[in-house]
Structure 1
Amino acid sequence: MEDDRDTKEEGVLRCDPEAQCHPKIEYMKQFKYCSAEQRRLAFIVYMDLCEAKDFWNVGIHGCESIGAILISGHPMKHDPKILILPVDRNDELSIEKLRDYVCKVKVDGLDVNSLTLAICETDSTIVYYEVTDGLVVPESPSEIEGKRQRRTWKMQKRREALKDNVVYQSK
């Protein structure tokens, strides 16, 4: 029996027909220099950041200088905003191309010294990979511990919410 929502045809994931009417897809259509495939990748990454990664203030930006759609957002509420570039896993990337991406990206109100690639697989798996121009100083142990504590707190909150939801539904 075939699922009506997502189908695989010739190895390419076809998006949910209802998603074609999503306001963000309609917004992305204004970027004439982007293909339908780029819009599809951007939408998948946008939804992942909003729904699975719990990013704050997620926005969509067109960047004509590299001919792509970029997504911005805060990983945590008070973290600095980062830029994400959705790319297909089959795209050929070189050091020069990555450097061009970092150097040519211009988005209003953001100082771009790094860019996060969202490498997308046809099954909607996404791997995030941060690219910077030059060397980056590693985080201090206290910063790493702070992130670990926030991540643990976030997971505990999710478990409590899930537990409350299960208890509520069973009554």
Structure 2
Amino acid sequence: MDTIFSHPKYTEMLASGVTDEAHIKKTFQVYLDLCEVHQWWNVRLHPCQQFNVIFISGRPQRGLDREFVLTLGADQSLSPLDTHNYINRLKEFSKTEVDGLNVAVTDTDSTTAFYKLTAGLVPVPPLVAENKFKFKGHNPGRAKRFFTYPTLPKECDVEQDKGAGEAEDN
């Protein structure tokens, strides 16, 4: 009778040199989730004995860049310094640009939540001049041109001050 523990990738994880068996089980759970449920392409394992973890990499869709995943238990914590160290380690052995790390948080009931962490802050979009003029009074020659930021996605809770950045048009 075949069990989950006789799966070739699970035995590969056991032979990788990573000693935390609980981490290996969680990583295998995430590996199966990425392959079977999310249907990632070219999924690979990357054991890191320095941190005693196994990173998973793959492509969410055909033609997209490779992304890296780190598995954590719901009871584990992750500091900003740890995140920075993981991303720097991935940059060392990756042949592609690594701009962040996906963290798969797993619970004992096999629930998995994915979070995308990036190195640094998300850059502010550039200031864009719009062809919107505001006329003061009855003199159209005194129009003001507005400079605004591009529209942010609705997920962002950043309010834009449309009056900020006004400049007179001569």
Based on CA coordinates, which of the two structures has the bigger radius of gyration?
2
Which sits farther off after the overlay, 114-123 or 93-102?
Answer: 93-102
How far residue 33 of structure 1 moved from its aligned partner, in angstroms, is 2.9
Question: In the alignment, is residue 129 of structure 1 matched against residue 138 of structure 2?
Answer: no
How far residue 64 of structure 1 moved from its aligned partner, in angstroms, is 2.2
How far residue 35 of structure 1 moved from its aligned partner, in angstroms, is 1.1
Superposed, 1:32-51 pairs within 5 Å as 32-51=17-36
AA aligned opposite 1:57: N
Q: What SS is found at the alignment partner of 1:115?
A: strand
Which sits farther off after the overlay, 93-102 or 123-132?
Answer: 93-102
Higher helix share: 1
How far residue 138 of structure 1 moved from its aligned partner, in angstroms, is 7.9
Gaps of 5+ in 2: 126-149, 154-170
TM-score normalized by structure 2? 0.66
Cα deviations by residue, 1:92-129 (Å, 9 ceiling, x for unpaired): 22222222222233434343231100000111111111
Q: Paired residue for 2:100, among 95, 114, 119?
A: 114
Q: What SS is found at the alignment partner of 2:88?
A: helix
Q: CA RMSD in A?
A: 2.2
How far residue 39 of structure 1 moved from its aligned partner, in angstroms, is 0.8
Retained in 1: the 8 A contact 2:17–2:47? no
Gaps of 5+ in 1: 1-16, 145-171
Which sits farther off after the overlay, 109-118 or 83-92?
Answer: 109-118
| Aligned equivalent of 1:5 | none
AA aligned opposite 1:42: T
| Aligned equivalent of 2:70 | 85
Inter-partner Cα distance in structure 2 for 1:113 and 1:64: 22
Q: How many residues align?
A: 125
Question: In the alignment, is residue 68 of structure 1 matched against residue 53 of structure 2?
Answer: yes
Retained in 1: the 8 A contact 2:24–2:54? yes
Higher strand share: 2
Cα deviations by residue, 1:28-55 (Å, 9 ceiling, x for unpaired): 1122233111110110000000110011
Shift of the 27–96 alpha-carbon distance from structure 1 to 2, 3 Å rule, reads same
Q: Identity over aligned residues, as a percent?
A: 30
| Aligned equivalent of 1:58 | 43
Retained in 1: the 8 A contact 2:18–2:54? no
Which sits farther off after the overlay, 38-47 or 61-70?
Answer: 61-70
Retained in 1: the 8 A contact 2:106–2:112? yes
Inter-partner Cα distance in structure 1 for 2:124 and 2:32: 30
Shift of the 57–29 alpha-carbon distance from structure 1 to 2, 3 Å rule, reads same
Which sits farther off after the overlay, 62-71 or 41-50?
Answer: 62-71
Q: What SS is found at the alignment partner of 2:93?
A: coil
